Copies of this chain bind each other. A is one copy, B any other.
């Protein structure tokens, strides 16, 4: 990640434009618009670097392939159990160190909320 390339620019731009957790394929499809020959390998290599730089975060859900999104301030995720859509949650309960067993050191936390999004809640 020492040189800036149009490929990386396209990848970051795609992540910022769509502003939600993206699959490698979705990322490829979007970035492909500005860099026709872009390869999946380059997507993965850049994503890896961007994660190391703290620019991108991984969003992993059981049974789904990992998604990637631009790192925003600390936030969490909501996963609708009906339509499977993932939404960012800006709220945070704050310090969770009271949950830790003795001797364990807390560095960070991640919360996934499950339920129904407004559209699916109405339908049910």
Contacts and interface: CB of A to CB of B under 8 A. Distances in A.
Interface of A: 58-63, 66, 76, 78, 81, 87, 89, 91-93, 96, 98-101, 103-118, 121
A107 B100 contact: no
Work out how many copies of this chain go into the complex.
Answer: 2
Contacts of A121: 103-105
A49 to B, nearest CB: 14
Given A60-B62, A63-B58, A99-B89, A113 B118 contact: no
Contacts of A87: 101, 104
A108 B103 contact: no
Contacts of A104: 78, 87, 115-118, 121
Of all A-B residue pairs in the complex, the 5 with the closest CB atoms, nearest first, are A103-B118, A91-B99, A58-B62, A107-B115, A105-B116
B118 A99 contact: no
A76 B100 CA distance: 11
24 contacts: A58-B63, A59-B62, A60-B62, A60-B63, A62-B66, A76-B99, A78-B104, A81-B107, A87-B101, A89-B99, A93-B96, A96-B113, A99-B111, A100-B113, A100-B115, A104-B115, A104-B117, A104-B121, A106-B113, A107-B116, A109-B112, A109-B113, A109-B114, A111-B112
